[in-house]
Amino acid sequence: MAGEHRILLFGANGQVGWELRSALGPLGAVRALARAEADLCEPDSLVSAIRGMAPTLIVNAAAYTAVDRAEDTDEEKTAIAANTTAPGILAEEAKRLGAAMVHYSTDYVFDGTRPVRPEDPAAWYREEDATGPLNVYGRTKLAGETAVLDTGVPALVFRTSWVYSLRGRNFLRTVLNLAAGRDTLSMVADQHGAPTWARAIAQATALVIARWGTGGGVDPSRRGIYHMTAAGATTWHGFATAIVRHAASSGQPLACAPGAIKPIPSDAFPTAATRPKNSLLSNERLHRAFGIALPHWETSLSLCLEDGWCTLPAGVPTNR
């Protein structure tokens, strides 16, 4: 597939977008746009960028992700513009050009009320299960899925969860910073999901695209929604404990020990936006359609931290 696509990537400086810059390279010519060049809240900038390049594939890794801030009325309008209206515009432009599209969504489209069975992936949420987002962010992302797919454009929508990397704002970096300065931490232990490394998402996306078609084209029969998360399951408390354990074993100077992280219920840590307690997504459809499965979440965490310690100064990673 090398050299066959003209790829226009939105959200180039985000966690997933940053990793996609390199992951998509073998598939063709990639033009990566950050917010300053193409703002989801400015439709004209999106249309201009697309028509200026005439890509064969649009990859949208940009989104409004301030989950709690989105609950504010004024911020909700921004979230709708970025997460619902903009993806629809991108899809319409892709359809006009005869191009394909890749778009990312979230586990927050579900209400999370299904009984939690971490040991049984067959019981996890599937793509066809009823949705019911509990917060503005989830509602705008769900509406964005619909806006993309309703155009009829050949599109893959990847729902992922608990995304982290060594860039930007995310749970991994928050825990490392907190653990560096505090000897005890408290973390929510009744929300279940799969922490998913941004690099694993980018690499899996590139593999899917490579298997989606030939000659710069795609197989429209495989369009639709696919779950794309790391294997395995944990809680925010389990994730935090693993972060500190892996960091400590690598010799990082942290004040908090893994055993000093206290499990707490969600209601002990109130937030503006309600989170689903069950965010476990089945990846069976992705594997069945494209033969791809992401690594276990703790394997990816270890690789992510090893990469960070090798490329960043000693101590807690800073934003690159």
Catalytic residue among 64, 137, 164, 226: 137
* Secondary structure (DSSP) of 79-115: HHIIIIIHHHHHHHHHHHHT-EEEEEEEGGGS---SP
Cα–Cα distance for residue pair 139/70, rounded to 1 Å: 11
193 backbone dihedrals φ, ψ, rounded to 5°? -165, -170
Active site residue 104: no
Most distant CA pair in the chain: distance in Å? 56
Pure H helices in the chain = 15-23, 43-53, 73-80, 86-97, 136-149, 171-181, 198-212, 236-249, 284-290, 297-311
Q: What is the DSSP letter of 125?
A: B
Is residue 105 within 8 Å of residue 125, measured between CB atoms? no
How would you classify residue 168: left for phi > 0, otherwise alpha for psi between -120 and 50, otherwise beta?
Answer: left
Could you give the residue numbers annotated as active site? 137
